[in-house]
Structure 1
Amino acid sequence: MVDESKNVELTDDDIENDSKGQLIKKAGQLRDRRNELNQMASERASKRDDLNAKTREKVDEAQEHREKRDELNEQVQEHKESRNELNAEANELFDEVEGLKSEMELGEGKDLEELEEEIEQLEFKQQTEVLSSEEERELIEKIESKREEYADRKEKLEDNGDLEELVEEAEEVRSEASQHHQKVTELADEAQEHHNRMIEAYREADDVRDEADDMHDSFVEAQEAADRHHEDFVRVQKRLREMDKQEEEQRKSARDQKKEEAKEEAEEIYQKFKDGETLDTEDLMKLQKTGLL
């Protein structure tokens, strides 16, 4: 802010009634304060311009993050579409797998790995536990039944290579869909990061813009005060010129009056000369000055 206590005040009464010396002093004070305020305004304008430039930089930075975010979001959408298409394709393939299994009567029951694990558990029980003859017979029959089920299912699977190929294809498609889903997650996180940085850059731009606006107000205040001092300085200078003109007119008037008085005196002396009166040296010099002799 401008320290108003340092400002120089000038009233109409000062202009009209102050002496020439007082006005010359006032003009110097107004000039010095005007120059000081102009320097202050210039510095504030420079700071304002720097802040405005920084604001533009932050806005540009935010715009870059916006463009990058939008670009990434487009890629996210593309990967989403690919993922959804592949998942739909995988679902269709797995439906075909289930259809084939149903035709082969493999839709119900346990898979080979599970059957193999159950057989191993039953065999371990047979080898490690003390069983009665009846319990051991039942256990052996159960193991044989599981082995037959395992062999039957394995034979059916081996006899149908299409099922394996279909399962493999379905799993590959699902895997590809998962890769696209991973890209969706990665790109969405990256897009969110650019979005957050965009918001932060815009916030910083707003803060700097507010600071620039405050600096502009300070610049205007200093410039207006400088202009006011300049106007008052010009008023004082105009008044001083008027006073100089008045003094010159007064001096000219005094010179003219003095000449007129000298002329009148010379004419009186000349009349004495014509009347035959004796003139002294001073009288003769006065006649010479006026051109009468």
Structure 2
Amino acid sequence: MSVVNEYEIEELNDSDNVELTDERLENGSKGKLIKLAGQLRDRRNELNQMASERASKRDDLNAETREKVDEAQEHREERDSLNEQVQEHKESRNELNAKANKLFNKVEEMKEDLELDDGKPIEELESEIQDLEFQQQTEVLSTEDERELIEKIEAKREELSEKKEKVDDTGELDELVEEAEEVRSEASQHHQKVTELADKAQEHHNQMIEAYREADEIRDKADEMHELFVEAQEAADRHHNDFVRVQKRLRELDKEEEEERKDERQEKMEEEKQEAEDIYQKFKEGETLDTEDLMKLQKTGLL
């Protein structure tokens, strides 16, 4: 959208301008030149007002541009600050994950040393023993089958006992597992902060980009308004210069008229003087003079 329409700026209509040609300036009558000077002056004033309005709008747009740039800079600083925090939490997360990995590796090593992973789990052994005991109690077995079943139950019980003894000796292992899990949990918290802060940083980055985009758009409008200001100001300057030229020409005409009046007065004085001398000559020759003749002689100083 053009800023002329957006700000309802009056467009410069060339048809309203006043044209001054050399022909009009040199050959125009004084009356026409006086009228022309008034037209040039009025149009110059209109154009100066138009230029002033456009300059004001341009300045407003430049101020808006600066505000948007400041806003973008604020988002940039906030984004950078958040990214620094992201980096700090990443470092903490990575350090904690590395620590947790070492602890879990140690847990695995201890498990291997204790052979806790060998054989069946305690719960499974207990369940198998219960099943075998139930079978012994509910089924009618031959002597040989019952002996084999009892031996099997005893073997399971012995395996279960050994397993439980090993587990009883794993207090340090449990503490190590708990510590590893706590470290891993702390690392997860840092990872969550990384995600949250990174999302916020991205929001500020997007807002920064948008603010810069708006600043560029407003700056383009300010540049367009400046061009409109220059257009009006140059037209105003041209009308002012033409007004000055007409004023100068009018002064020249006034001077010419004054010279003409001076010449006319001089010529009239010379005519009056010649007439008075003629009258004085008649007086010397004895002719009778009337009152008007006497007044002419007095006026020229001959009487």
TM-score normalised over the length of structure 1: 0.89
Q: Give 1:49's aligned residue.
A: 59
| Higher deviation after alignment, 215-224 or 272-281 | 272-281
Q: Deviations over 1:127-173 (max 9, x none)?
A: 9xxx9767xx8999988877765554343222232111111111111
Give the CA deviation at 1:270: 1.4
- Residue 10 of structure 2 corresponds to residue 13 of structure 1: no
Give me the whole-angstrom Cα distance separating, in 2, the residues matched to 1:75 and 1:267.
116
Identity across matched positions, percent: 74
Q: Deviations over 1:66-116 (max 9, x none)?
A: 01101100110111011000000000010111111100001345655xx36
Contact 2:44 2:240 in 1 (8 A): yes
Equivalent position to 2:218, from 208, 214, 218: 208
Q: Give 2:280's aligned residue.
A: 270
Q: Give 2:296's aligned residue.
A: 286
SS at match of 2:19: coil
Give me the whole-angstrom Cα distance separating, in 2, the residues matched to 1:218 and 1:261.
64
Q: Give 2:102's aligned residue.
A: 92
Q: Give 2:194's aligned residue.
A: 184
- Residue 189 of structure 2 corresponds to residue 160 of structure 1: no
Is there any run of 5+ residues in structure 2 with no aligned partner, and where?
A: 1-10
SS at match of 1:249: helix
Equivalent position to 1:24, from 11, 15, 34: 34
SS at match of 1:279: coil
- Residue 48 of structure 2 corresponds to residue 71 of structure 1: no
Give me the whole-angstrom Cα distance separating, in 2, the residues matched to 1:203 and 1:143.
80
Aligned AA for 2:34? I
Q: Give 1:199's aligned residue.
A: 209
Query: What is the aligned length?
Result: 286
Contact 1:157 1:163 in 2 (8 A): no
* RMSD, aligned α-carbons: 2.7
SS at match of 1:163: helix
Give me the whole-angstrom Cα distance separating, in 1, the residues matched to 2:53 and 2:294.
72
Is there any run of 5+ residues in structure 1 with no aligned partner, and where?
A: none
Give me the whole-angstrom Cα distance separating, in 2, the residues matched to 1:277 and 1:125.
185
Aligned AA for 1:254? E
